[in-house]
Amino acid sequence: MAKPQFTDHQHVPHVFTQHNGEQLDLTFSNQEFDRRLTLARKLLTDYDLDAFVLTSMHNIKYYSDFVPSPFGRTFAVVITPEKSTTVTPWVDGGMPWRTTYGENIVYSDWEAANFFRAIDQVLAEQSIKPSKLGIEFDGLTVDEYKSFQSWFESVDLVDMAEPIMLQRLLKSDEEVYLIRQGARIAEIGARAIKNAIREGVTEYELAFVGTEAMVPEIAKVYPSKELRETFSLVQAGLNTDGAHNWPTTRQLQKGDLLSINCFPMMSGHYTAVERTMTLGQPDKATLDIWKINMEAYELGLSLIKPGAIAQEVAAEVNRFFERQDLLKYAPIGYGHSFGVMSPYYGREAAMEFREDIETELQPGMVISMEPMLTIPNHLPGAGGYREHDTLWINENGVENFAEFEVGPDHNVID
């Protein structure tokens, strides 16, 4: 078989700029992005780094405002002492530049090394010959890391994922405003779902109701941003056993335990409200477990304050469940940090309510409180029980952004 005649790639663009159209309004002010980049550059100095090459979706978003759509391709934001530049594939056109704070450079697919050529060009234009680069080990596959090692063979690659994550834990006033808006919009979705609950409707139909209620409100608040990733989870009966189980075609039945969870994804930022409900009066076992989980939720809320230690909060709630002989049915910690995150990126693992997390709660953190019990299907009261609020820790104490009614006194749907 004759070999195919390949294109002469010397005439094909490999690395270039594509300033197509006009730049759009950013999610935050220029001053906010400058604040973030100033903190990142302090890490460059502290760790004696020449630059950051950050490849995770959350850090690209955090420092540039651009949210990648990977489709198997690699993206980056390169942060140097003077500039920040997103590195994006040509298939995305001019949108990365239109939505980036800082510079943007584009690479084509026509040669596999073009991503690294683009990084080299960004550094060379600033006369940087790197000896030490900050990268994210948790944002690279093994193959991608090997490619970094091969391309930057004489460069020390330093894992900076954790120091950067610790900076993201403390939210600015602008971030808090966005999260507050997200919490409000989540309740619009939850209200629409609650109003549509009836016997015979399916989980996925209810989920659509919630999402369709949230997206127009997001568009109203952030009209220049892409509308993407907003979703709702509605679970009934057995399907409540997992917090992140996706909607199915299961029809709701009288007596069902329900869990609804609405996630308005606003410019890459995750917010949520989650509530346990029942369709019709719950049986005694279901009601008893629901009330116990409510007690844990209220206990958790009472423990959150500036200066509290995450592991101590978790231990106190654990002891409560242990006294009820239910700790064996508590599958996760009791809350987490909010910020740039989705089901697919951005977990701020240093602030979660688990007994191995020593983080002190500080003003500027935004966290959830969300105890969960999952009772196996062969036991009375089977199913998953979850309540989820969003709380802002500030100099004056704690503000709970959630206003949606909670508990069996309010969420039994007759």
Note the pLDDT tens digit of each residue in 362-386: 999 999 999 999 999 999 999 999 9
DSSP letters of 18-47? Answer: ---S-PPPPSS-HHHHHHHHHHHHHHHHHT
Q: Output the pLDDT for position 367.
A: 97
For the domain with range 9-167, which CATH number is right: 3.40.350.10, 3.40.50.2000, 3.40.190.10, 1.10.580.10? Answer: 3.40.350.10
Question: Amino acid letter at 240?
Answer: T
- pTM score, whole prediction: 0.94
Domain residue spans of the chain:
9-167, 173-413
Residues annotated catalytic, as ranges: 244
Residue whose entry in the numeric block shows the structure tokens 């844990």: 296
- Decide if 259 contacts 227 (C-beta within 8 A): no
Note the pLDDT tens digit of each residue in 335-349: 999 999 998 898 899
Q: Output the pLDDT for position 344.
A: 87
Measured at the CA of 311, the angle between CA 305 and CA 313, to 5 degrees, comes to 45
The model's confidence at residue 2, banded by pLDDT at 50, 70 and 90, is: low
CA 398 to chain CA centroid, nearest Å? 22
The model's confidence at residue 308, banded by pLDDT at 50, 70 and 90, is: very high
Q: Output the pLDDT for position 9.
A: 67
Task: Indicate the average pLDDT of the chain.
Answer: 96
Note the pLDDT tens digit of each residue in 201-258: 999 999 999 999 999 999 999 988 889 999 999 999 999 999 999 999 999 999 999 9
Q: Do domains 9-167 and 173-413 have the same CATH topology?
A: no
Note the pLDDT tens digit of each residue in 120-160: 999 999 999 999 999 999 989 999 999 999 999 999 999 99
DSSP letters of 226-245? Answer: -----EEEEEEGGGGGSTTP
Residue percentage of the chain with pLDDT more than 90: 92
DSSP letters of 347-382? Answer: --TTSB-STT--PBP-TT-EEEE--EEEE-TTSTT-
Q: Output the pLDDT for position 298.
A: 98
Do β-strands 156-159 and 132-135 pair in parallel, antiparallel, or remain unpaired?
A: parallel
Q: Check: CATH 1.10.3720.10 for 173-413?
A: no
Note the pLDDT tens digit of each residue in 78-93: 999 999 999 999 999 9
The model's confidence at residue 8, banded by pLDDT at 50, 70 and 90, is: low
Q: Which CA distances in Å does 303 have to 41, 129, 300, 323, 360? A: 35, 50, 5, 18, 12
Residue 309 has pLDDT above 90, yes or no: yes
- Please compute the mean of the pLDDT values over residues 11-39 and round it to a whole number: 93
